[in-house]
């Protein structure tokens, strides 16, 4: 199981300079483990009680002073021990930690929860819940942009009067429902023909591409389009005009952080809750993972506005279907995160969600074929 990569600030080793001696590496690793477990600054006296070092408190204190000089430890206040810095966490993630295997029981639980889910939207919602539940951090999932979904089928359903429900199904199984005002009452038979037209002509293209091509066609060939086709394209253009280009972010478990030592400061609690309410900021940091390619990425400190302001870390991985990246998922929480456990869990959730979406994609193919056959039968009557 490979290590995670940290964000754009680079590896800590480039900041430290020469590789750390083995003794310093072991002590730094122990400091990080102890701080993750307790949330408190770590003193040389505490470390001297750990049998693996075989060193006095004075000897450990000298090593800790060297680590502080290298920018790997800092002292929160004069009477405290030391806590790891951003550079220390980077070094730890990239070369010091030993990631754990996701346990068989956790894999089974994840698989079972995703197996009972229905549509793709339900799958990503369950994934965000699982991330929070299993890591005790905040689970987040960046969903696909509605404009960028690849169309598999479209269906228009009359709701009465001039209102029509537009149901767009993506190739990966995501469903986007939009209620539109057609401006006039449209016969159900025409709605079926509109559905068939949009599906037959534009399946396999993104909503953005479909809308742009329709605009070009209507501008260039308006005189040559018959009345029905002109009406169909105008209606489809209206149906496709509502999807927002903004990706949504599902957030689960923010309240679970409130009992941590880091949030004894009410001002920090307020900033944290404001951050989780700002979906655009969360989307920005999760989008970094999409640009970084495959694998798990860890963002901390100056890597993003969110991690810098809150002294948080983000552990994220992409997910997709049919070889296409659709979004990313991960956890957000204080930098003293249990990375050896969190990193493989995020990786496994990303891989398992991808497999689940692939299964959903296969299962809806038959459903879509059935809908199109029914629509064609109605159209022929």
Q: How far apart are CA 140 and CA 135, in angstroms?
A: 12
pLDDT for 10 equals 43
- Which tens digits make up the pLDDT trace of 177-235? 778 887 778 888 888 888 888 888 888 888 888 888 888 877 766 665 677 777 777 77
DSSP 147: G
- Of all residues in the chain, the percent with pLDDT exceeding 70 is 86
Find, among 242, 244, 238, the residue nearest to 182 by Cα: 238
The more confidently predicted of residues 381 and 92 is 92
Phi, psi of 317 (to 5 degrees): -145, 150
pLDDT for 69 equals 95
Rounded average pLDDT over 144-173: 82
pLDDT band at 36 (very low <50, low <70, confident <90, very high): very high
Buried b (16+ CB within 10 A) or exposed e, 69-95: ebebbbeeeeeebbbbbbbbbbbbbbe
Token readout for 7 is 């964000």
pLDDT for 381 equals 55
- Which tens digits make up the pLDDT trace of 251-271? 999 988 888 888 878 888 898
- Which tens digits make up the pLDDT trace of 38-52? 989 999 999 998 878
The more confidently predicted of residues 350 and 310 is 350
Rounded average pLDDT over 7-16: 47
- Which tens digits make up the pLDDT trace of 72-122? 999 987 667 999 999 999 999 999 999 899 999 999 999 999 988 778 889
Helices 266-277 and 279-291: crossing angle in degrees, nearest 10, is 70
pLDDT for 198 equals 86
CA 379 to chain centre: 42
Residue 332 has pLDDT above 60, yes or no: yes
Radius of gyration over every alpha carbon of the chain, rounded to an integer in angstroms = 26
């Amino acid at each position: 199981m490979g290590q995670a990569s940290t964000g754009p600030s680079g590896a800590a080793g480039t900041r430290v300079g020469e590789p750390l001696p083995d003794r310093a590496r072991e002590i730094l690793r122990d400091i990080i483990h102890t701080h993750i477990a307790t949330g408190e600054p770590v003193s040389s006296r505490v470390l001297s009680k750990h049998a693996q070092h075989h060193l006095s408190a004075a000897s450990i204190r000298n090593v800790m002073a060297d680590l502080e000089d290298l920018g790997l430890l800092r002292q929160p206040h004069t009477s405290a021990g030391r806590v790891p810095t951003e550079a220390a966490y980077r070094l730890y993630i990239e070369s010091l930690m030993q990631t754990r295997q996701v346990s068989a029981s956790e894999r089974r639980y994840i698989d079972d929860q995703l197996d009972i889910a229905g549509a793709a939207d339900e799958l990503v919602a369950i994934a965000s819940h699982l991330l929070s539940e299993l890591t005790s951090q905040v689970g987040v999932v960046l969903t696909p942009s509605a404009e960028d979904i690849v169309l598999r089928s479209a269906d228009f359903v009359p709701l009465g009067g001039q209102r029509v429900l537009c149901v767009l199904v993506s190739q990966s199984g995501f469903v986007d429902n939009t209620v539109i005002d057609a401006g006039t009452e449209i016969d159900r038979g025409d709605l079926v023909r509109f559905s068939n037209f949009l599906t037959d002509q534009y399946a396999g293209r993104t909503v953005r591409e479909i809308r742009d091509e329709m605009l070009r066609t209507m501008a260039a060939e308006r005189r040559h389009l018959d009345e029905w086709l002109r009406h169909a394209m105008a209606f489809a253009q209206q149906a496709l005009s509502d999807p927002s280009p903004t990706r949504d972010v599902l957030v689960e478990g923010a309240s679970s952080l409130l009992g941590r030592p880091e949030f004894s400061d009410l001002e920090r609690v307020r900033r944290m809750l404001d951050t989780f309410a700002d979906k655009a900021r969360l989307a920005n940091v999760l989008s970094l993972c999409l640009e970084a390619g495959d694998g798990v990425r860890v963002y901390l400190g100056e890597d993003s506005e969110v991690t810098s302001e809150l002294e948080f870390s983000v552990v994220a991985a992409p997910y997709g279907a049919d070889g296409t990246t659709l979004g990313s998922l991960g956890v957000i929480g204080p930098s003293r995160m249990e990375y050896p456990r969190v990193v493989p869990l995020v990786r496994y959730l990303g891989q398992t969600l991808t497999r689940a979406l692939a299964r959903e994609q296969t299962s809806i193919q038959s459903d879509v074929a059935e809908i199109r056959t029914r629509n064609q039968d109605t159209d022929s009557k």
